Structure 1
Amino acid sequence: MHNDQPIGIFDSGIGGTSIWKEIHHLLPNEKTIYLADSKNAPYGQKSKEEIIALSIKNTELLLKMNCKLIVVACNTATTNAIRELREKYDVPFIGIEPAIKPAATHSKTQIIGILATQGTLNSELFNKTTEKYQDTKIIEQVGHGLVQLIENGDINSPEMTQLLTSYLAPMIEANIDYLVLGCSHYPYLIPQIKKILPEHIHIIDSGEAVAKQTQKILQEKIGFSSAEKTEPIFYTNTDSKVLSKILENKYTVEKIDF
Structure 2
Amino acid sequence: MPLNNQPIAVFDSGLGGLTVLRALRDRLPQEDFFYFADTRFLPYGDRPETFLKERGVLIAEALARRGAKALVIACNTATAAAAEAIRAASSLPIVALEPGVKPAASLTRSGVIGVLATTRTLQSERFQRLVGNHANHLRVVAQACPGLAETIEEQGPHSAQVLALLDGFVAPLAAAGADVVVLGCTHYPWVAEAIAARMPAGVSLLDTGEPVARQLERLLGVQNLLGGGHGHLRIATSGAPARVIATVDRLWGQKMPVEHWEP
TM-score (norm 1): 0.95
1:243 aligns with 2:244: no
**What is residue 162 of structure 1 aligned with on the other side?**
164
Q: What displacement does 1:54 show?
A: 1.8
| Cα distance in 2 for residues equivalent to 1:2 and 1:28 | 18
- Tell me, yes or no, if structure 1 residue 34 matches structure 2 residue 35: yes
Q: Which residue of 2 aligns with 1:183?
A: 185
1:120-176 CA distances to partner (integer Å, 9 max, x unpaired)? 111111101101222110001101110110221332122211111111111111110
Alignment partner of 1:24: what SS? helix
User: Relative to structure 2, which stretch is displaced further, 145-154 or 5-14?
Assistant: 145-154
After superposing on structure 2, the runs of 4+ consecutive aligned residues of structure 1 that deviate more than 6 Å are: none
Structure 1 residues 68 and 116 mapped into 2: Cα distance closer, same or farther (>3 Å)?
Answer: same
SS in 1 for 2:166: helix
Q: CA deviation at 1:245?
A: 3.1
Structure 2 residue aligned with 1:118: 119
Report percent identity of matched pairs.
Answer: 31
TM-score by length of 2: 0.93
Q: Which amino acid aligns with 1:131?
A: G
Q: How does 1:1-258 map to 2 (within 5 A)?
A: 3-132=4-133, 133-227=135-229, 229-236=230-237, 237-238=239-240, 239-240=243-244, 241-249=246-254, 251-258=256-263
Q: Secondary structure at the match of 2:34?
A: strand
| DSSP-derived class of the 2:5 partner | coil
Tell me which moved more, 207-216 or 35-44: 35-44
Kept after mapping to 1: 8 A contact 2:156/2:250: no
Contact 1:35 1:58 in 2 (8 A): no
Residue identity opposite 1:156 in structure 2: H
Q: CA deviation at 1:57?
A: 2.7
- RMSD between aligned residues: 1.6
CA deviations 1:66-112 (Å, max 9, x no partner) are 00110000001111111111111111111000000111111000100
- Which stretches in structure 2 are left out of the alignment for 5+ residues? none
Q: Assess if the C-alpha contact under 8 Å between 2:81 and 2:121 holds in 1.
A: yes
The CA distance in 2 between the partners of 1:17 and 1:167, in whole Å, is 23
1:3 aligns to what SS in structure 2? helix
How many equivalent pairs are there?
Answer: 257
Report which of the two has the higher share of helix.
2
Judge conservation of contact 2:17–2:75 (CA < 8 Å) in 1: yes
Q: Which SS does the other structure have where 1:152 is aligned?
A: helix
Instruction: Answer yes or no: is the 8 Å Cα contact 1:8–1:33 preserved in 2.
Output: yes
In 2, Cα distance between the equivalents of 1:245 and 1:113? 28
CA distance in 2, matches of 1:170, 1:245: 29
Aligned with 2:177: secondary structure? coil
Matched-pair contact (CA < 8 Å) for 1:38–1:151: no
1:39, distance to aligned residue in structure 2 (A): 1.7
Cα distance in structure 2, aligned partners of 1:233 and 1:35: 9
| Amino acid in structure 2 at the alignment position of 1:6 | P
